[in-house]
Amino acid sequence: MTETKVNDLADLKNATTAAAADAPAETAETVAQEEAPKREPKIDSLGRAYGTGRRKDAVARVWVKPGTGKIIVNGREQEVYFKRKTQQLIINQPFLVSNQVSRFDVMCTVKGGGLSGQAGAVRHGITRALANFDPELRPSLKSAGFITRDSRTVEPKKIGKHKARRTKQWAKR
């Protein structure tokens, strides 16, 4: 019984080595090309790329097109809508990481949440739109962590508590 297993394994080994000898030698480059499909730019008839960004309860619809670096949020300039410098920095991060500062104009509409969540949503939307406009920018944006949606949200309130975790005050006497 053990001899038949050995014979079967030996036959299997011979068959795989023969098949490997018949197959053309694959280089690492051809394997990498087969695994990662080439992405095509997604640009509309007006020369814009679209991206949807989400953060907390905010949702941003973002259009990116070649330009001078002007960012319009809900019909207002970036500096007018987001007055805090940190929020303006958050929005400009995708351009800084991909070395595309002042090369694209951004027009976006954002709804829901507060200003911090909206800034994060606009950044996520800009990142997706840039990746749709030029797929070669995607690796740098992905390594910076901008492609992945930040899934952290507010924890819901529990029954019998004041907030999500704050319990009612207890007095011994």
Tens-digit pLDDT profile for residues 8-60? 666 666 666 665 566 555 665 555 556 767 888 899 999 999 999 999 999 99
| Domain count of the fold of the chain | 1
Residue 136 maps to a domain: yes
The pLDDT assigned to 25 comes to: 57
Q: Which residue has the higher pLDDT, 70 or 7?
A: 70
Residue 29 maps to a domain: no
Mean pLDDT score of the chain: 88
- Whether residue 5 is predicted with pLDDT greater than 60 in this model: the reply is no
Domain that holds residue 55: 49-143
Residue 111 maps to a domain: yes
157 neighbors 164 (Cβ within 8 angstroms): yes
pLDDT band at residue 150 using 50, 70 and 90 as cut-offs: very high
We report the CATH number of the domain holding residue 107 as: 3.30.230.10
What is the mean predicted confidence (pLDDT) over 150-172?
94
- Whether residue 96 is predicted with pLDDT greater than 80 in this model: the reply is yes
Residue 35 maps to a domain: no
The pLDDT assigned to 37 comes to: 76
Residue 171 maps to a domain: no
Q: Whole-prediction pTM value?
A: 0.76
